[in-house]
Amino acid sequence: MKITGYRILSTQHEWHRPVGDVNGVSEGTRTAVHVLVLTTDEGIEGVGLTATSLADVERVFPAIDGEDPRSVTGLYDRMLAWVFKTGHAGTVFAAIGAIDLALWDIKAKAAGEPLWRLLGGRSRFVPGYASGLEFGLTDEELHGLYSRFADAGFSQAKIKGGRVLANDVRRLRIAEDVMRRNSADPALMFDANESWHRSQAVRHIRRIEDEVDLTWVEEPLRRWDAAGLADVRRSVAAGVATGENLTGLEQYRPLLAADAVDVVQFNASWGITHALRVSTLAHGQDLPVSAVGLTAVTAHAATAMPNHLTSEVQDLGQPLGVSIDQRIEDGGIVLGDEPGAGIAVDEAFILGLAPAAGWTRASGPHVRPARAGLRLVPEDTAPAVVETLEARR
């Protein structure tokens, strides 16, 4: 079997709500999901899904063109080697991850097995936590959203925040109250999305901990700040979770060496091979791992990880024009029996979709605000500060 080509489609996820975090909120209720389809000379096609641009696929594809797609890990390393001079960060890593997902899909289809079984998973169930990207919602809307998660059996929830302490505490309590339907002691996580500096993070987290019991605080500081994350970890009761924006094992080493992380995270869009290697690296330190983002495909890898803790579930629906053989129930993801990753794509439907702004909004969550990490105390006056700075330029 040989790889012969690829095609890229752009669909959307309909959230039925604006989504975002302390850094910003999406425009409208739809965000882009990119679909990579790898073709072979035997007619088997592999599908990879990602929320990140696939602009660099053309750059990376020559590394695998004409190769046997079943040599997945060898091809993964070949792709990394292909771009070693300029590095494999950013959208390059997203392209490599999407190709890797598609390669594993082909390998499992060729074997006639669901991917989770091919990878060595014993159970098709992947435990998860509710994470609604709910920063732009009112309290009433937040309650309704997490009630739907609770109806699907979830007892763990993550809330976005980091700007106004009173808002963060109130919204964590709303999530906690809803999750008590399924647990007397629900797990609560809090995600600051790299919006704090070190001393602000410690003050804010301690004040939250005076009110609610946090399981972990996620990305309190910049992703590379090993010394700062270690300091936060020593200064608060909650665990520190980070890693979703790291692109390569080499970026994890400083965090592990500094004893800076309790829960090692990986971005689900970065591929199966990356996820498995992060899991092995963390397992060597007796640390659990957790997938973040579009976890539908990487959930297959989670079944084979001895240290998988829980995976983020951001929504109960699936991307438009995409059908995935899995169910969200009992507080997690139940994987199906279709060969491969179980992804079916309605290409005609996708080609007929009108574009949506989604993450491209300048004030959306993928653009770092001007005063992020530069606020002395938790407050809600930062927008006025930014407006004043902009007006004086």
**33 in the same domain as 127:** no
CA distance 333 to 93: 26
**60 in the same domain as 71:** yes
**243 in the same domain as 175:** yes
**66 in the same domain as 126:** no
Over 200-257, what HEC string results? HHHHHHHHHHCCCCCCEEECCCCCCCHHHHHHHHHHCCCEEEECCCCCCHHHCHHHHH
**227 in the same domain as 122:** yes
pLDDT at residue 183 tops 60 = yes
Q: Domain ends where: 297, 319, 339?
A: 339
- In a domain? residue 91: yes
For residue 62, the 8-state DSSP code is G
CB 238 within 8 A of CB 209: yes
- In a domain? residue 125: yes
Give the per-residue pLDDT at 384. Answer: 44
Give the per-residue pLDDT at 381. Answer: 44
Of residues 369 and 140, more confidently modeled: 140
pLDDT tens track for 299-358? 999 999 999 999 999 999 999 999 999 999 999 999 999 999 999 999 999 999 987 767
Q: How many CA atoms lie within 13 A of 202 on its CB side?
A: 11
Q: Domain ends where: 116, 142, 170?
A: 116
Q: Domain ends where: 116, 145, 177?
A: 116
∠ CA 165-219-302, nearest 5°, is 125
Give the per-residue pLDDT at 371. Answer: 77
**286 in the same domain as 145:** yes
pLDDT tens track for 47-98? 999 988 899 999 999 999 999 999 999 999 999 999 998 889 889 999 999 9
Q: How many CA atoms lie within 13 A of 100 on its CB side?
A: 28
Angle between helices 72-82 and 90-111 (to 10 degrees): 160
Q: What is the pTM of this model?
A: 0.93
- In a domain? residue 376: no
The bridge status of strand 30-40 relative to strand 3-14 is antiparallel
- What residues have CB less than 8 Å from 196, skipping those under 6 apart? 162, 204, 220, 221, 373, 375
Give the per-residue pLDDT at 65. Answer: 98
Give the per-residue pLDDT at 377. Answer: 65
**182 in the same domain as 293:** yes
CB 150 within 8 A of CB 178: yes
Q: What is the mean pLDDT of the chain?
A: 93
- In a domain? residue 173: yes
> Could you list the residue range(s) of the whole structural domain that residue 25 is in?
3-116
CA distance 128 to 375: 33
**136 in the same domain as 95:** no
- In a domain? residue 370: no
CA distance 287 to 301: 17
187: domain CATH number is 3.20.20.120
Give the per-residue pLDDT at 350. Answer: 95
CA distance 150 to 41: 45
Task: Domain count for the chain, please give it.
Answer: 2
- In a domain? residue 169: yes
- In a domain? residue 269: yes
pLDDT at residue 374 tops 90 = no
CA distance 201 to 28: 30
**206 in the same domain as 130:** yes
